[in-house]
Amino acid sequence: MKTSKTMRKFGWLAFKIMWIPFSTLMIAMFGLPNGEYAWNELPILARYSLIAMGFMAATATILLIGAVIVGGARNHAILEKGLPAQAVILKISDTGTTINKDPLVRLLLEVRPPGQPAFQAETERLISRLQIPLVQPGAMVSVKYDPDSHEVALVGEEESNSLTDADT
C-alpha cells in the first residue's frame, strides 16, 4: 500500500506541476497571429513548454493509473495468501475519491490476530453507500493480513461467507 500511496502522491504532484508549463505556453503564444505553425516556427518558450507539459501529463497519467494497479494487485495478493483475523475500525476518513457514487475510504484498524499481539494498520476500501452505516468506528470487520509487513485487506462478503462456512 505504501508504494501505491507514494505513486498516487507523486502523480498528483506531477499533475499540479503540469500547469506551470501550460501557463508559460499561453504566455509564449500571446500576441502571435492565429494560424498553424510548424514546430520550428514556434517561439522557443512554447516548444519547451509543450515538451515539459507533455512529459508531466504522461508522468501523472502513468503514476495515477499505476497506483490503482499496484494497490489492487497488492490487495489481491494479501487476500489470497494472508492470514485471517478480526479487526476493529478505529477511524474512518474520506480520501476524496468516488467511484460510481461510492466513496473510497481510508480505514485505521486495530488488527487482532489469534494468538498474537494486536497491531494497527491502515487500508483503503471502496464502500457501497448502502454499507456506510456498517463501516463505522468500533465495528468489527474480517481482514486478512501479511504477518511480515502487517499490511491488511478487508475481506469482502463473498470471502467472509466462505470463511464462516469453513469454520462450521
Residues 66 and 91 in one domain: no
Residues 55 and 112 in one domain: no
Residues 103 and 33 in one domain: no
The candidate with the shortest Cα–Cα distance to 96, out of 136, 122, 124, 76, is 124
Residues 22 and 93 in one domain: no
User: Where does a domain end: 29, 63, 78?
Assistant: 78
The pLDDT > 70 percentage for the chain reads 92
Q: How confident is the model at residue 168, as a pLDDT?
A: 30
Residues 68 and 24 in one domain: yes
Q: How confident is the model at residue 124, as a pLDDT?
A: 84
Residues 33 and 50 in one domain: yes
Residues 48 and 108 in one domain: no
Q: How confident is the model at residue 91, as a pLDDT?
A: 94
Residues 131 and 108 in one domain: yes
Residues 25 and 58 in one domain: yes
Residues 154 and 100 in one domain: yes
User: Where does a domain end: 51, 78, 105?
Assistant: 78
Q: How confident is the model at residue 163, as a pLDDT?
A: 36
pTM exceeds 0.85: no
pLDDT tens-place values along the chain, 168 residues long: 678 889 989 999 999 999 999 999 999 988 888 888 899 999 999 999 999 999 999 999 999 899 888 888 888 888 899 899 999 999 999 888 888 888 888 899 999 999 889 999 998 888 888 888 888 999 999 999 988 888 898 887 544 333 333 333
Residues 74 and 87 in one domain: no
Query: Domain limits at 10?
Result: 2-78
Residues 88 and 129 in one domain: yes
Q: How confident is the model at residue 150, as a pLDDT?
A: 86
User: Where does a domain end: 45, 78, 111?
Assistant: 78
